[in-house]
Structure 1
Amino acid sequence: MTLDRTMVVTPYPHRWPALVALLLGEAMNLLDATVVQVAAPAIHADLGGPVSLVQWFGAAYTLPFAVLLLTGGRLGDIAGRRRMFVLGVTAFAVASTACALAPSAGLLIGFRAVQGAAAALIVPQTIGLIKAMFDGEETAKALGSIGPVMGLAAVCGPVVGGVLTHADLFGSSWRAAFLVNVPVAAVVLALAPKLREDRAPHRPALDWPGTALAALGTGLVVQPLIGTDLGHPTPRDGVLPLAGLLVLAGFAVQQRRSARPLLEPSLFARRGFPAALVTSTAFFAVTNGLSMVVVLQLQLGAHTGVLTAGLSLLPWSAGLAAASWLAGSRLVRRYGRRLMPYGLAVLLAGLLAAVGAYATATPGRYPTALLPALALVGVGTGLFTPAFFTLALRPLRPQEIGSAAGLLNAVQQLGATLGVALLGSVYLTGTDLDAARTACWTATALVGVAWAASGRVGAAAS
Structure 2
Amino acid sequence: MTDTHLAGTAGTAAPDSRPYRWRWAVLAVILAAEIMDLLDSTIVNLAATPIARDLGGGASTVQWVVGAYTLAFAVALVIGGRLGDKFGRKNLFVLGAAGFTVASLICATAQEPTVLIVARAVQGLLGAVLIPQGFGIMKQVFPPQDLGKAFASFGPVIGLSAIAGPLLGGVLVDADLFGLGWRIIFLINVPIGIATVIAAVVLIPRSDRRPELRFDPLGLVLFAAAALLLIYPLIEGHELGWPWWTYASMAVALILFGVFAWHERHSAAPLIEPTLLTNRSYVGGLGLILLGFAAMIGFSLVFNVYAQAALGYSPLTTAFAGCAYAVGMALAAGLGSAALVPRFGRRVLVLGYAVMALGALGMVATVRLTGLTAHPWQFLPAGFVFGVGGGLAIVPVFSVILAGVQDHEVGSASGLLNAVQQLGGTIGVAVSGTLFFQLLPSRGPVDAMQITTLVAAAFLIGCLGLVRLLPRRARPE
TM-score range, shorter chain: 0.7 to 0.9
Query: 2:228 matched to 1:219?
Result: yes
| 8 A contact 2:356–2:387 mirrored in 1 | yes
Secondary structure class of the residue paired with 1:259 = coil
On the 8 A contact 1:23/1:146 being kept in 2, the answer is: yes
Partner of 2:117: 109
Residue identity opposite 2:448 in structure 1:
A
d(CA) in 2 for partners of 1:427 and 1:102? 27
- In 2 relative to 1, CA 282–363 (structure 1 residues): closer, same or farther, beyond 3 Å? same
Give the AA of the match of 1:69: L
**Does structure 1 conserve the Cα–Cα contact (< 8 Å) formed by 2:342 and 2:474?**
no
Question: Residues 144, 217 of structure 1: CA spacing in aligned structure 2 closer, same or farther, 3 A cutoff?
Answer: farther
Matching of residue 353 in structure 1 with residue 366 in structure 2: no
Match among 448, 459, 467 for residue 454 of structure 1: 467
2:273 alignment partner, one of 256, 259, 264: 264
For residues 280-337 of structure 1, what are the alpha-carbon distances to aligned partners after superposition, in whole Å with 9 as ceiling and x for unaligned?
Answer: 1111111111112221222233222232122211111122222223434444444443
Query: What is the rounded CA distance, in whole Å, between the counterparts of 1:138 and 1:69 in structure 2?
Result: 27
Distance verdict in 2 for CA 1:66–1:227, change over 3 Å: farther
Letter in 1 for 2:124: G
Partner of 2:458: 445
Quick one: distance in 2 between partners of 1:421 and 1:59?
A: 7
Say if 2:324 is the partner of 1:315: yes
Quote how far apart the aligned CAs of 1:208 are. 1.9
1:390-401 matches, cutoff 5 A: 390-393=399-402, 400=409
Task: Please give the alpha-carbon distance, in whole angstroms, between the structure 1 residues aligned to 2:23 and 2:342.
Answer: 21
> What letter corresponds to residue 343 of structure 1 in structure 2?
G
Counterpart position of 2:11: none
- 2:286 aligns with 277
Classify 1:283/1:141 alpha carbon distance in 2 versus 1 (closer, same or farther; 3 Å): farther
- Give the direction of change, closer, same or farther, for the CA distance of 1:455–1:139 in structure 2 (3 Å limit): farther
The separation in 2 between residues aligned to 1:315 and 1:189, in whole angstroms, is 34
Q: CA deviation at 1:349?
A: 2.6
Does residue 242 (structure 1) correspond to residue 251 (structure 2)? The answer is yes
Please give the residue correspondences for 1:7-46 in structure 2 after superposition, counting only pairs within 5 Å.
Answer: 18-19=26-27, 21-46=29-54
- Give the superposition deviation at 1:95: 1.3
Which residue number corresponds to residue 9 of structure 2? none
1:240 alignment partner AA: S
Tell which deviates more after alignment, 372-381 or 117-126.
117-126
Q: Is the 8 A contact 1:169 1:176 kept in 2?
A: yes
User: 1-side partners of 2:15 and 2:432: how far apart?
Assistant: 54
Tell whether the 8 Å contact from 1:159 to 1:313 is kept in structure 2 after alignment: no
Deviation at 1:61, TM superposition (A): 2.8
Task: After TM superposition, list the pairs within 5 Å mapping 1:379-394 onto structure 2.
Answer: 379-393=388-402
How many Å apart are 1:8 and its aligned residue?
A: 9.4
Pairs within 5 Å for 1:37-436: 37-47=45-55, 53=61, 55-126=63-134, 128-129=136-137, 158-186=166-194, 188-189=196-197, 192=200, 203-229=212-238, 233-366=242-375, 368-393=377-402, 400=409, 403-428=412-437, 429=439, 430-436=443-449
SS at match of 1:456: coil
Note closer, same or farther for the CA distance 1:317–1:194 as it changes in structure 2 (3 Å cut): farther
Measure the CA separation in 2 of the matches of 1:232 and 1:27.
39
Q: Distance in 1 between matches of 2:367 and 2:454?
A: 12
Query: What secondary structure does 1:206 align onto?
Result: coil
Aligned equivalents of 1:34 and 1:302: distance in 2? Answer: 21
Q: Which amino acid aligns with 1:302?
A: L
User: Which whole-Å CA distance do the structure 1 matches of 2:19 and 2:236 have between them?
Assistant: 47
Q: When the two structures are superposed, what TM-score results if normalisation uses the length of structure 1? A: 0.83
Q: Unaligned regions of 5+ residues in structure 2, if any?
A: 1-13
| Shift in Å, 1:155 | 7.6
Deviations 1:52-86 (A, max 9, x none): 65544334433322332213233234223443233
Q: Is the 8 A contact 1:315 1:374 kept in 2?
A: yes
Q: Distance in 2 between matches of 1:254 and 1:265?
A: 9
Q: Which amino acid aligns with 2:185?
A: A
Worse-matched range after superposition: 393-402 or 113-122: 393-402
Aligned residue for 1:177, secondary structure, equals helix
Whether the aligned pair in 2 keeps the contact of 1:351 and 1:377 (CA below 8 Å) is yes
Structure 1 residue runs without a partner (length 5+): 1-5
Q: How many residues get paired? A: 457
Distance in 1 of aligned mates of 2:210 and 2:53 = 52
Q: Note if contact 1:298-1:366 (Cα within 8 Å) is conserved in structure 2.
A: no
How much does 1:96 deviate? 0.8
CA spacing shift, 1:154–1:411, aligned 2, 3 Å: farther
Equivalent in the alignment of 1:3: none
Which stretch shifts more, 323-332 or 239-248?
323-332
Shift in Å at residue 402 of structure 1?
5.3
Conservation of the 8 A alpha-carbon contact between 2:367 and 2:450:
yes
| Structure 2 CA distance for partners of 1:452 and 1:391, relative to 1, 3 Å | same
Q: Distance in 2 between matches of 1:342 and 1:453?
A: 13
